[in-house]
Amino acid sequence: MPRESRPREIRDVVFVDGVRTPFGKAKGQYAETRADDLVIKCIRELLRRNPGLPPEKVEEVAIAATTQIGDQGLTIGRTAALLAGLPNTTPGYSIDRMCAGAMTAVTTLASGIAYGAYDVVVAGGVEHMGRHPMGEGVDPNPRIISEKLVDTSALVMGSTAENLHDRYPSITKARTDAFAVRSQERAAKAYANDLIQPDLVPIAIRSAELGWGLATTDEPMRPGTTLEDLAKLKTPFRPHGRVTAGNSSGVNDGATAALLTSAEAAEELGLKPKMKLVSYGFVGVEPEVMGFGPVPATEKALKLAGLTIDDIQAFEVNEAFAVQVLAFLEHYGIADDDERVNPYGGAIAYGHPLASSGIRLMTQLAKQFELKPEVRYGLTTMCVGLGMGGTVIWENPNWEGNAAA
């Protein structure tokens, strides 16, 4: 007879810290920098910022990359852990859920913590799109198109954004351009107020032509962008379309990493949590309108948490395309310019290095929580290529209601 298994209790999971590199333009400041070196630097920075954490306490490292070849291949979670100085007893692995890679690394490892398999972990993501464009080296089964499992437009992200415009005719190009200008303005203001820089990891860069340098700021930002500027841009995915380079995220390079622990381990190690995990949800939608994914993913996460959208007072929505964010806001009856949504700007300004972006959302939500003790719940959400969405709901440990209780 098998032994009776001991009962398990789900444990609280906390987000202790998150960092990222400045994001770069493809073939820009990181053109001659390895992808793995970007995420290695992020892991090292987490250890530097949290000196009370002995490296040997890190029990797992999961690093996401959408294109897992070259310097983003060979089980990068393990190789990056070794190169970052973690002991060889720390295992690691790789994750791919396209844009939601880092988000999935967080939720997968968090599930392990909640179950009791780990106490301390590092999750991260990296994408060097200048070196490895999305889709490089892949061989999609032709039956996915020939058997009409998906529309052909599903494989071109910009086309899926145009399709979403078709589903939401009220979301005009004028609205998406206005949202894009606001993203640039909010990002510039956040920089001016030093809200972004504390979580950026300076990266040594080298150019054969220019020599050594230091990347300290996000390269894609375009402060001063105007509606008139955006009105002049081409619509490459459809003649007379609505999606342009100005109201979309770019093709970018960058990396992120986050330190997650059980609530008990954080207390034992003297680590101060920035957020507590409440629930998460991933869903599939029609691939040709992948930008709709955050809506049902949020519905799922809210249901699991026993919350409603009215309970959420801080939002970080990935700006793959402005239309995708506006579809989410329209569904929930939230104004385009609501100050609770991406108050420090988003991917249209900073860039979107695919698998790394989920943790950028989390670090910015953690900043919202730090500055807004009146806010109890917030969420990070994003659309995902091939028709998916992911949402994570977080609780603010600084919530002023805790003191009242």
pLDDT exceeds cutoff 90 at 400 = no
Q: Give the pair of three-digit tokens for residue 100.
A: 């939601």
Q: What's the rounded mean pLDDT across residues 191-200? A: 98
pLDDT digit string, tens, across residues 371-395? 999 999 999 999 999 999 999 999 9
Q: Output the pTM of the full model.
A: 0.96
Q: How far apart are CA 42 and CA 65, in angstroms?
A: 15
Residue 2 confidence (pLDDT): 54
Torsion of CA 70, 72, 74, 76, to 10 degrees: 160
Torsion of CA 68, 73, 74, 79, to 10 degrees: -130
- Chain mean pLDDT for the chain: 95
pLDDT exceeds cutoff 50 at 131 = yes
Residue 4 confidence (pLDDT): 63
Residue 405: count of CB within 10 angstroms of its CB: 5
Residue 1 confidence (pLDDT): 47
Query: In the chain, what are the domains?
Result: 143-198+276-393 (3.40.47.10)
Q: How far apart are CA 248 and CA 162, in angstroms?
A: 11
One-letter identity of residue 39: V
- For the annotated catalytic residues, the residue numbers are 99, 352, 383
pLDDT digit string, tens, across residues 11-55? 999 999 999 999 999 999 999 999 999 999 999 999 999 999 999
pLDDT exceeds cutoff 90 at 401 = no
Considering only residues 146 and 298, tell me which one the structure prediction assigns the higher pLDDT: 298
